[in-house]
Amino acid sequence: MNVIVYGYGLMGKKVAQAVRDNEKMDLVGIVSPVFDEKIDENMYSSLEEVNEKVDAIIDFSHPNNLEDILKFGIKNHCALVIATTGFNDQQKLHIEEASSQIPIFQSYNTSFGVSMLTKIVKSVAKEFYEQGYDIEIIEKHHNQKIDAPSGTAKLLYDVIHEDIDETKEVYDRSQVHHKREKNEVGIQSVRAGTIFGEHTVLFAGHDEIIEVKHTALSKDVFVQGAISACNAIVDKENGLFTLKNLY
């Protein structure tokens, strides 16, 4: 499988090395506006420079690059693993439209463990809710993370809301001056230190609390998740895949 890595920041470098180490993959080049080191593979400033046969692109870059990636993917019918965060609604729509022609995995979190977390939450949330339990989501990340709440926290809420459509998310209780309503799902964010990522779904009932939690101890879990996703979709004709339907 010929792979292009788009983006050469911290995650891009880790993904590039993981592709090099994977016996099923060949790293044919990296796309980045700047390189802070010389690499053995082709260094491209844009996808327009790429002439090699490409089977898949793994993207850890910036939302502004999405249109070029989708255009290249459709033109060359290659699989896309899009792990960049911060897309707006219009960009999400473009990803969905493109997936009718090519296979695309898009997620703000590529960890296999998080995919299992979503399955666990989906399997129990409605029953807890119907028994009167309150549901809260707490996410923790490093102090350099700009956006809040995390995309994964939103994903966890979406999984809950799919089965309990009367729920509504509440992001900041400092602005809410009434007691908690049954259908509220609080989403709280912590930004501190070098926390790679921690997500907890809390079910609180009368005199008991159940927590389901995923903790990332390094960024390597996201790298390996992206590699696994790439292997999972590369031979598919088309479709939009997420942590909810990939495994």
Exposure letters 174-195 (e unless 16+ CB within 10 A, then b): eeeeeeeeeebbbbbbeeeeeb
Cβ within 8 Å of residue 202, ≥6 positions away = 134, 135, 136, 137, 138, 209, 210, 211
CA distance 96 to 42: 30
Is residue 71 marked as binding?
Answer: no
From 62, 145, 154, 244, active-site residue: 145
38 is in an annotated binding site: yes
Tell me: is residue 107 an annotated ligand-binding position: yes
Judge whether 109 and 243 are in contact, CB under 8 Å.
yes
Q: Is 46 annotated as a binding residue?
A: no
Residue 90 contacts residue 38 (beta carbons within 8 Å): no
Sheet holding 208-216, edge to edge: 168-170, 184-191, 134-141, 197-205, 208-216
d(CA 119, CA 159): 8
Residue 84 annotated as binding? yes
Ligand-binding annotation for 85, yes or no, is: yes
Q: What is the chain's Cα-based Rg?
A: 19
| Residue 37 marked in a binding site | yes
Would you say 118 is a known binding-site residue? Answer: no
Tokens matching residue 35: 């390189």
Q: 140, 141, 199, 214: which is the annotated catalytic residue?
A: 141
Does the annotation count 141 as an active-site position? yes
- Report the length, in residues, of the chain: 247
Q: Which residues are annotated as a binding site for NADP(+)?
A: 38
Q: Which residues are annotated as a binding site for NAD(+)?
A: 37, 83-85, 107-110
Enzyme catalytic residues: 141, 145
Q: Which residues are annotated as a binding site?
A: 37-38, 83-85, 107-110, 142, 151-152
